[in-house]
């Protein structure tokens, strides 16, 4: 059995990889993750599992053999705020029509670090919104699918 520690999943689904003791980490697979790199935000807490494969080190009779095990962590649900925003492929189009419902991880678009679709998928996962510009009518920001990259005023585009 592998002795592992350090596996964590935060509310945003970011993964801290596990470490193993007295073995060499060979592979880690995060069940139900996206591309084995992160989990989507969720509406209720879930236990997440990392399946670990490690190579037995020198000094053990089965040196070089692969052994496996699992470690779990609870991903807490994310508190999000519903907002109506404009969206579009340009800053001016996003500023012009504020009528689509989204979820933010902050009350204001200016202070948000992520934007999500308003509804969950069939598994209760909250998925990131599409890559495009978003506006609350005052400011406009570009979301690249994983982070906001700009912050401008809509008055510059009217």
pLDDT tens-digit profile, the chain (158 residues): 568 899 999 988 899 999 988 788 889 999 999 889 889 888 789 999 999 999 988 888 888 899 899 999 999 988 899 999 999 999 999 999 899 999 999 999 999 999 999 988 777 778 899 999 999 999 999 999 989 999 999 998 76
Cα separation of 98 and 87, whole Å? 8
Q: Say what the pTM is.
A: 0.68
- Return the beta strands (E) in 2-150 as ranges: 3-5, 8-9, 15-16, 19-21, 24-30, 41-42, 46-55, 66-75, 81-88, 100-104, 115-117, 125-126, 132-135, 139-143
Same structural domain for residues 69 and 93? no
Taking the C-alpha atoms of residue 130 and residue 134, their distance in angstroms, rounded to an integer, is: 10
The residue among 75, 108, 123 that closes a domain is: 75
Residues 86 and 135 in one domain: yes
d(CA 42, CA 120): 8
Choosing from 75, 106, 122, the residue where a domain stops is 75
Q: What does the pLDDT read at residue 158? A: 64
Query: Is residue 99 domain-shared with residue 141, that is, in the same domain?
Result: yes
Number of domains in the chain: 2
Of 111, 104, 113, 109, residue with least CA distance to 94: 109
Residue 25: the pLDDT is 87
CA distance 101 to 95: 14
Q: How far apart are CA 16 and CA 37, in angstroms?
A: 10
**CB–CB of 123/31 below 8 Å?**
no
Q: How far apart are CA 124 and CA 27, in angstroms?
A: 28
Closest CA to 11 of 55, 74, 71: 74
Q: Which domain holds residue 19?
A: 3-75
In the listed set 75, 107, 133, which residue is the last one of a domain according to the structure? 75
Q: Are residues 86 and 70 part of one domain?
A: no
Are residue 59 and residue 110 in the same domain, yes or no?
no
């Amino acid at each position: 059995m592998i002795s592992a520690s350090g596996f964590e999943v935060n509310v945003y689904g970011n993964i801290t990889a596990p470490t193993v003791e007295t073995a060499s980490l060979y592979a880690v697979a995060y069940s139900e993750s996206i591309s084995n790199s992160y989990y989507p935000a969720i509406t209720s807490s879930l236990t997440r599992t990392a399946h670990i494969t490690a190579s037995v080190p020198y000094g053990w009779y089965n040196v070089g053999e692969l052994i496996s095990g699992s470690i779990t962590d609870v991903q807490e649900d994310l508190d999000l705020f519903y907002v109506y925003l404009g969206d579009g492929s340009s800053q001016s189009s996003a500023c012009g029509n504020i009528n689509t419902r989204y979820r933010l991880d902050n009350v204001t678009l200016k202070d948000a670090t992520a934007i999500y679709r308003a509804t969950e998928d069939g598994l209760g996962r909250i998925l990131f919104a599409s890559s495009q510009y978003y506006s609350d009518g005052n400011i406009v920001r570009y979301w690249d699918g994983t982070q906001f990259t700009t912050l401008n005023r809509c008055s510059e585009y009217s």
